[in-house]
């Protein structure tokens, strides 16, 4: 069969399969994320019927999916809200790092992989998946909830922290000296500050530049600017997701409203491609040897991430049910964890770390969205309401 025709047939079949899984998820009343991931496993490397063509399209589409998810989240908030949430959540951000990075570092040392692998696995267990959580919050209809800005502030703190972490990890992996490592970190930090400054101080100019009465021109302007900034951020060893989020923050007013409406179908398409790609790139056979350590690590770090979200929401004055929703929403790990594992394995760290990271991420990405629905269950909601009333009735200490 002609290669071009085969690519179209396989991509078309995959997109149709995503649609059917989404319809099934709607019937079951669950997020489509776990089903799309499992579908990717079935048709990916080592699956029942491996996907052989169009891999480059799916890979690029997956990266665009994460960028669009974070852009759309940025469009929901103003620069003032971003700064306020970051200030409120900075203590929770430190707690997040301590509670969730340490278990990964300890696990790597116990497995005998050495200190460099410990730094890598610490990052894998620390960073929640912005892409998965953005989709999850949207699917559950929680964009307007009071705890959602708290969740986003934690994600932004984590993504900004990557501007420091990734250059340091890279320097350790390739054996850079102290001076070269410091230069790399300084360049990454300067890039973040420049993007943040433009978003906060000159957002009105950004909105004016991209605005057009033509829907086509507006769509192309916003999408082009976002991909450009995301690419420049990635080139400077900063998360492309951070760049996309800050572009969304910079666009405000009617421009943001129109852009949100135009970009929603694209976001939904490419977000689904992102989750499909993750499943397609995972060989189920690689997961089995590391399955037990991954389950233990997932149980521990999902618990610590739950504590992080609960604590952050409590400090922000969120009610009991919202605290639990914030905690459960932060459970999934994803794109950053896989990137970190890929860097480590490619630099000569024990290949078992890659299998452990993949199994670990897959567990949190499947179980996380299921647990995130728990606070909305009637019994849980009633329990949370009683707990809130008891706390209000208790005498002050």
- Kindly report, residue by residue over 347-365, the tens digit of the pLDDT: 778 878 888 988 898 899 8
Question: Is the pLDDT assigned to residue 374 strictly greater than 80?
Answer: yes
pLDDT band at 306 (very low <50, low <70, confident <90, very high): very high
pLDDT in tens, 150-173: 898 898 888 777 767 777 777 777
| Burial bucket for residue 30 (CB in 10 Å: 0-12, 13-18, 19+) | middle
Mean pLDDT of the region 330-343? 80
User: Coil, helix or strand for 331?
Assistant: coil
Mean pLDDT of the chain: 82
Tell me the C-alpha distance between 397 and 391, whole Å. Answer: 11
**397 or 369, greater pLDDT:** 369
Mean pLDDT of the region 312-329? 91
User: The pTM is what?
Assistant: 0.72
**Phi/psi at 70 (nearest 5 deg)?**
-75, -35
Q: Domains of the chain, with CATH numbers?
A: 55-393 (1.20.1530.20)
pLDDT band at 366 (very low <50, low <70, confident <90, very high): confident
| Residues sharing a CB contact under 8 Å with residue 60, sequence separation 6 or more, in sequence order | none
The answer for 141, left when phi > 0, alpha when psi is -120 to 50, beta otherwise, is left
Question: Is the pLDDT assigned to residue 52 strictly greater than 80?
Answer: no
Mean pLDDT of the region 236-254? 77
């Amino acid at each position: 069969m002609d290669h071009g025709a085969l690519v179209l047939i396989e991509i078309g079949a995959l997109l149709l399969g995503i649609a059917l899984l989404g319809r099934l998820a709607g019937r079951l009343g669950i997020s489509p994320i776990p089903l799309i991931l499992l579908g990717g496993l079935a048709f990916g490397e080592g699956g029942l019927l491996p996907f052989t063509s169009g891999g480059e399209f799916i890979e690029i589409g997956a990266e665009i999916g994460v960028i669009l998810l974070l852009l759309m989240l940025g469009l929901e908030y103003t620069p003032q809200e971003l700064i306020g949430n970051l200030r409120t959540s900075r203590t929770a951000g430190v707690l997040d790092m301590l509670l969730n990075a340490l278990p990964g570092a300890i696990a790597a040392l116990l497995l005998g992989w050495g200190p460099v692998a410990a730094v890598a696995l610490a990052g894998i267990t620390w960073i929640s998946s912005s892409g998965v959580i953005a989709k999850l919050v949207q699917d559950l209809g929680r964009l307007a909830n009071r705890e959602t800005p708290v969740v986003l502030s934690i994600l932004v703190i984590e993504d900004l922290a990557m501007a420091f972490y990734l250059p340091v990890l890279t320097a350790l992996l390739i054996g850079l000296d102290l001076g070269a490592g410091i230069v790399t970190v300084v360049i990454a930090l300067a890039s973040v500050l420049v993007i943040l400054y433009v978003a906060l101080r000159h957002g009105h100019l950004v909105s004016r530049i991209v605005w057009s009465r033509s829907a086509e021109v507006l769509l192309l302007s916003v999408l082009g600017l976002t991909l450009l900034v995301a690419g420049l951020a990635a080139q400077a060893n900063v998360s492309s997701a951070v760049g996309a989020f800050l572009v969304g923050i910079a666009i405000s007013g009617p421009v943001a409203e129109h852009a949100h409406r135009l970009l929603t179908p694209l976001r939904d398409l490419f977000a689904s491609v992102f989750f499909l790609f993750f499943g397609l790139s995972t060989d189920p056979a690689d997961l089995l040897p590391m399955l037990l350590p991954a389950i233990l690590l997932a149980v521990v770090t999902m618990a610590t991430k739950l504590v992080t979200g609960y604590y952050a929401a409590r400090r922000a004055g969120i009610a009991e049910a919202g605290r639990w929703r914030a905690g459960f929403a932060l459970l999934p790990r994803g794109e950053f964890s896989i990137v970190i594992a890929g860097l480590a394995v490619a630099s000569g760290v024990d290949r078992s770390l890659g299998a452990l990271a993949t199994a670990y991420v897959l567990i949190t990405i499947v179980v996380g969205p299921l647990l995130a629905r728990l606070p909305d269950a009637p019994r849980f909601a009633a329990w949370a309401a009683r707990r809130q009333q008891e706390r209000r009735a208790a005498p002050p200490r």
